[in-house]
């Protein structure tokens, strides 16, 4: 009698909505997505204008919430007018400003540690629980110097999971402009270097990640499936019998009105664009749900990251 071949394992797909708490308008769209099964968890900006309200809604609906560590946008949580994290206007230095200051040795890593601790403790107060995980707004958690402080501080607070923003096959995403691709590949290299640091502190992350090349208008069913397939091709093998976890990073939400939202200084262009609502429509579409089913995946959360 021939022996039956084991069936392929059901893998898990975590669909994370970034920037929760940025504005009430954006959050309304994120909540719609969660209730529709289009996202499975969120990451919270604790210095977002709508953070407190967002946490109350998340508790009501049982939404898994992680911390979206923010070292680049708006006001810091740790109040110290002499912190190296801010510019002359009292705001965090921005996505590129922070990176340049870090590279030039102008960022005091003690200030980074204080800010990370302040944001974790702010999260605990707002949500009355620990975050499911912590990642970095604009991927700051993988930057040189920051990654060691980030991992060590997470371990101290008992937070055991993070995002690893490495999208396999990213270089084949020929729709991404070169300027953006150069930046994406830079932080992916930094993420590769961060792996050893995270492993040192027993900080775990999903087996696969995608979403870098599918933000805003670049989120199409074809692009999503290409990115998911590339992740599968990298990780699947003939002996893959244990379920794997994949994370899709998304930025859905209703368009933010001028003057309503932000982390200090008002909402940015991306928040005010229609790209957020476009992402919502793709994530809630029957075509995307068919892709998930075709790829033998169940929806999951960061609790599935072992």
Give the model confidence (pLDDT) of 13-59 as tens digits: 999 999 999 999 999 999 999 999 999 999 999 999 999 999 999 99
Residue 299 lies in a domain: yes
C-alpha distance from residue 210 to each of 15, 23, 78, 231 (Å)? 10, 25, 32, 7
The tens digit of pLDDT for each residue in 264-299 reads: 888 888 889 899 999 999 999 999 999 999 999 999
Average pLDDT estimate for 95-116 = 98
Residue 104 is a catalytic residue: no
We report the CATH number of the domain holding residue 251 as 3.20.20.370
In a domain, 95, yes or no: no
Sign of the CA dihedral with 124 first, then 128, 133, and 136 last: negative
The answer on pLDDT for 4 being more than 80 is no
Which tens digits make up the pLDDT trace of 198-209?
Answer: 999 999 999 999
Does residue 246 lie within any of the structural domains? yes
Averaged pLDDT for residues 101-113:
98
**Contact between 258 and 240 (Cβ < 8 Å):** no
Q: What is the four-CA torsion angle of 111, 78, 196, 171, rounded to 10 degrees?
A: -100
Task: Kindly state whether residue 169 falls inside one of the protein's structural domains.
Answer: yes
Task: Classify residue 81: in a domain, yes or no.
Answer: no
Taking residues 152-164, what's their average pLDDT? Answer: 98
pLDDT at 3 over 90: no
Q: What is the band of 123 on the pLDDT scale with cuts at 50, 70, 90?
A: very high
* Residue-level pLDDT at 297: 94
Provide mean pLDDT across the span 129-136: 98
Catalytic residue among 18, 27, 275, 304: 18
pLDDT digits (tens, 9 = 90+) for 50-93: 999 999 999 999 999 999 999 999 999 999 888 999 999 999 99
Domain of 18 in residue numbering reads as 11-71+125-304
* Rounded average pLDDT over 94-122: 98
Confidence of residue 150 (pLDDT cuts 50, 70, 90): very high
Q: Is 19 within the bounds of a domain?
A: yes
Average pLDDT of the chain is 94
The number of domains in the chain is 1
The whole-angstrom separation of Cα 16 and Cα 253 is 12
- The pLDDT value given to residue 264: 86
Residue 306 has a pLDDT of 87
Tell me whether residue 51 is in a domain.
Answer: yes
Kindly state the tokens that stand for 255.
């368009």
């Amino acid at each position: 009698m021939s022996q039956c071949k084991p069936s392929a394992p059901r893998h898990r797909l975590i669909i994370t909505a970034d920037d929760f708490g940025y504005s009430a308008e954006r959050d309304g769209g994120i909540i719609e997505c969660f209730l529709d099964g289009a996202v499975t968890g969120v990451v919270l900006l604790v210095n977002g204008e709508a953070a407190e309200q967002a946490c109350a809604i998340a508790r009501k609906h049982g939404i898994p919430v992680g911390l979206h560590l923010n070292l680049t946008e708006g006001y810091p949580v740790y109040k110290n007018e002499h912190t190296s994290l801010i510019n002359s206007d009292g705001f965090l230095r921005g996505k590129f400003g922070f990176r340049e200051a870090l590279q030039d040795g102008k960022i005091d890593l003690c200030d980074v540690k204080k800010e990370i601790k302040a944001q974790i403790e702010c999260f605990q107060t707002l949500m009355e629980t620990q975050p499911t995980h912590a990642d970095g707004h604009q991927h700051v958690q993988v930057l040189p110097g920051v990654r060691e402080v980030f991992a060590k501080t997470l371990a101290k607070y008992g937070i055991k999971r993070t995002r690893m923003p490495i999208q396999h096959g990213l270089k084949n995403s020929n729709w991404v402009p070169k300027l953006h691709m150069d930046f994406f590949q830079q932080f992916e290299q930094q993420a590769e270097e961060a792996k050893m640091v995270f492993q040192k502190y027993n900080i775990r992350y999903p087996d696969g990640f995608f979403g870098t090349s599918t933000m805003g208008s670049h989120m199409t069913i074809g692009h999503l499936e290409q990115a998911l397939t590339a992740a599968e091709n990298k990780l699947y093998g003939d002996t893959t019998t244990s379920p794997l976890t994949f994370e899709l990073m998304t930025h859905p939400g209703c368009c933010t009105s001028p003057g309503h939202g932000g982390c200090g200084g008002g909402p940015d262009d991306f928040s005010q664009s229609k790209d957020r609502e476009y992402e919502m429509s793709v994530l809630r579409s029957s075509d995307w749900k068919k892709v998930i089913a075709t790829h033998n995946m169940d929806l999951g959360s960061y609790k599935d990251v072992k």
